Amino acid sequence: MTFGERLTKAVEAYGPLCVGIDPHPALLDSWGLSQSVEGLERFALTSVEAFGGRVAVVKPQAAFFEAYGSRGVAVLERVIADLKDSGTLVLVDAKRGDIGSTMAAYAQAYLGDGSPLAGDAVTLSPFLGFGSLQPALDTARATGRGVFVLALTSNPEGEQVQRATAPDGRTVAQTIIDFAAARNSGISPCGDVGLVVGATIGETDVDLSGFNGPVLAPGFGAQGGSVADLKRLFGADMRGVLPTSSRDVLKHGPDVSSLVSAVRRVQDSL
């Protein structure tokens, strides 16, 4: 199946929630774990036990694993493999973006068949030009995986680039959306190029009406994003929107049953 088909089936089965696995040092501390590879592994595998087979998408944040070097990356590889075994879609939050052969190497690492770092999708940064992502777009299409491209992020610094006006009068964010929409055109049930639009961006003037793909909406929960914010941004019909919650769920660890209960509460709210 295509990524769009698999994502649609997962959302039908579990709802639209995407849960992050973010082994932030403060969360390791709150779970009573050491800031070490051993603590990282305990945190990550407990999260997999709680979320695997219970949500549509799980999003491990690659940076928190890379911070521990090769042993940390090995834990990330195990997280990806164990989530796949549970039948849960894995979105690796790596935000890669480069040009030429370097982008092709990133594509092989995170989207290529046989790579231990390849989940079902990866986040990408398009700010070297949307065309620079072509190797990743082509690899995703060839392997039945997906990508989520940053468009409008909730960090204040993002406005300097994302809301800037391109020569044709569109904002940079709208240009990215339009490129992604063209890539997804005619694909059913939806395309394999998703967008990242923060749930806490405030008002937005971008047009998503012709976008035939999923929208990842980080910032839901602990960062202040609410269901009302999602409806205001995306309309009452939020098909294709994947609200993302990390800390708001993870703060209930390390008890697995408490994490599961937290997930169910968020799913019910959506």
Fold of 3-269: TIM Barrel (3.20.20)
Q: What is the DSSP letter of 220?
A: B
The answer to whether residues 262 and 55 touch, using CB atoms and an 8 Å cutoff, is no
pLDDT surpassing 70 at residue 1 = yes
Helix or strand (DSSP H, E) at 73 = helix 69-85
pLDDT-based confidence at residue 200 (cuts at 50, 70, 90):
confident
Instruction: Give CA torsion, residues 189, 130, 118, 200, to 10 deg.
Output: -70
Angstrom distance (rounded) from CA 79 to CA 118: 11
Helix (H) or strand (E) holding 148: strand 146-152
**To 10 degrees, what angle do helices 256-269 and 37-51 make?**
50
Structural contact between residues 39 and 28, judged by C-beta atoms closer than 8 angstroms? yes
Residue 181 binned pLDDT confidence (cut-offs 50, 70, 90): very high
Q: Tell me how far apart the alpha carbons of residues 183 and 134 are, in angstroms, rounded to a whole number.
A: 11
Q: How confident is the model at residue 223 (pLDDT cuts 50, 70, 90)?
A: low
* Residue-range domain boundaries for the chain: 3-269
Span 161-172, mean pLDDT?
93
Q: What is the pLDDT of residues 100-151, one digit of tens each?
A: 999 999 999 999 999 999 999 999 999 999 999 999 999 999 999 999 999 9
Q: What confidence tens digit (pLDDT) does each residue in 15-59 have?
A: 999 999 999 999 999 999 999 999 999 999 999 999 999 999 999
Tell me the CB-side half-sphere exposure of residue 43, using CA atoms within 13 A. 32
Ramachandran area for residue 196 (φ above 0: left; ψ -120 to 50: alpha; else beta): beta
Active site residues: 95
Residue-level pLDDT at 227? 79
- Residue 84's pLDDT band, with cuts at 50, 70 and 90, is very high
216 forms bridges with which residues in the sheet?
196, 242
Confidence of residue 201 (pLDDT cuts 50, 70, 90): confident
